[in-house]
């Protein structure tokens, strides 16, 4: 009986390490971190993925309450969180692009309550839904799970701690929030800029023209028209951002 209990404890110690990395990824990664996936589903998904990964490697038996075990717990959670946060940079870039387009169109007041992000402009919410569909259409969920499985080969448990260069890599990659937002919103914002210039010239030519009663409806109508025309370009830019994000995750965990 004591032999059986000792074997169960040993299996639990080896089962714990891959589950920590996978669970941290599920908490922080796009789509998996949505509140539509409640805690029970995430726990079940984490257990299922760990159960599938468990026979593929030989896992070290480290006591989690020892100093080495506590360091390894922090290390595995950090690896999973960094993988998820790397892709969350893409979500933040798309959100910022939607906010910029909403401000340019005059729809910054029209917000929706997003359970994951709070008050979000309607254009940003539309782009977030579009980005989620593109993520799933690319098979991003399968690619991400494949990357975390490969990471156990490139960053084995108990042999390699997360270096400072990984955190520097995340900080440098976070600049894509602004660059990606600019590239995504650029077609709409440039078109609305020229419309604003035209309205300014019209106001100077006819001072009696009420710019508020004419300009706001014109900006909203023109903004939606330009957004519909530029939607294929925006979709391809969002797809490019996701692919760049997966490439950053690969370099983060050392997959060539």
Residue 244: the pLDDT is: 92
Residue 122: the pLDDT is: 81
| Average pLDDT taken over every residue of the chain | 82
Query: For residue 3, is pLDDT > 60?
Result: no
Query: For residue 48, is pLDDT > 60?
Result: yes
Tokens of 81: 């969180």
Write the pLDDT tens digit of every residue in 111-162. Answer: 656 656 666 778 888 888 889 899 988 888 888 888 888 888 888 887 777 7
Scan for tokens 């890599």, then name that residue: 169
Write the pLDDT tens digit of every residue in 197-249. Answer: 877 777 777 666 666 666 677 777 888 888 888 888 888 999 999 999 998 98
Contact in structure between 132 and 240 (CB atoms under 8 Å): no
Residue 242: the pLDDT is: 92
Residue 241: the pLDDT is: 92
Lowest mean pLDDT among 21-25, 60-64, 182-186: 60-64
Residue 205: the pLDDT is: 72
**Closest alpha carbon to 140 in 252, 249, 253:** 249
**Predicted TM-score (pTM) of this structure:** 0.85
Residues 6+ apart with CB under 8 A from 1: none
Distance CA 199, CA 126 (A): 27
Query: For residue 76, is pLDDT > 80?
Result: yes
Mean pLDDT of 21-29: 87
Write the pLDDT tens digit of every residue in 148-204. Answer: 888 888 888 877 777 788 888 888 888 898 998 988 888 888 888 888 787 777 777
Higher per-residue pLDDT: 14 or 89: 89
Most confident of 2-11, 14-23, 101-110: 14-23
* SS3 per-residue string spanning the chain: CHHHHHHHHHHHHHHHHHHHHHHHHHHHCCCCCCCCCCHHHHHHHHHHHHHHHHHHCCCCCCCCCCHHHHHHHHHHHHHHHHHHHHHHHHHHHHHHHHHHHHHHHCCCCCEEEECCCEEEEHHHHHHHHHHHHHHHHCCHHHHHHHHHHHHHHHCCCCCCCCCHHHHHHHHHHCCHHHHHHHHHHHHHHHHHHHHHHHHHHHHHHCCCCCHHHHHHHHHHHHHHHHHHHHHHHHHHHHHHHHHHHHHHHHHHCCCC
């Amino acid at each position: 009986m004591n032999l059986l209990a000792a074997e169960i404890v040993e299996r639990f110690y080896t089962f714990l390490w891959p589950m920590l990395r996978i669970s941290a990824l599920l908490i922080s990664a796009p789509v998996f971190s949505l509140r539509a996936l409640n805690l029970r589903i995430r726990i079940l998904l984490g257990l299922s993925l760990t159960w599938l990964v468990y026979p593929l490697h030989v896992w070290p038996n480290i006591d989690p309450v020892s100093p080495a075990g506590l360091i390894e717990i922090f290390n595995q959670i950090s690896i999973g969180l960094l993988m998820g946060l790397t892709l969350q940079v893409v979500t933040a870039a798309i959100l910022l692009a939607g906010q910029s387009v909403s401000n340019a169109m005059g729809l910054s007041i029209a917000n929706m309550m997003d359970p994951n992000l709070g008050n979000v402009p309607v254009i940003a919410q539309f782009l977030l839904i579009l980005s989620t569909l593109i993520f799933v259409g690319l098979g991003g969920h399968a690619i991400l799970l494949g990357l975390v499985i490969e990471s156990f080969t490139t960053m084995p448990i108990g042999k390699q701690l997360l270096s400072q260069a990984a955190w520097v890599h995340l900080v440098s990659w976070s600049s894509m929030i602004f660059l990606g937002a600019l590239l995504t919103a650029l077609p709409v914002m440039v078109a609305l800029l020229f419309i604003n210039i035209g309205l300014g010239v019209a106001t100077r030519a006819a001072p009696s023209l009420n710019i508020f009663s004419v300009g706001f409806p014109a900006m909203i109508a023109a903004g939606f028209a330009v957004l519909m025309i530029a939607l294929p370009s925006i979709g391809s830019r969002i797809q490019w951002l996701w692919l760049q994000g997966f490439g950053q995750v690969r370099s983060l965990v050392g997959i060539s």
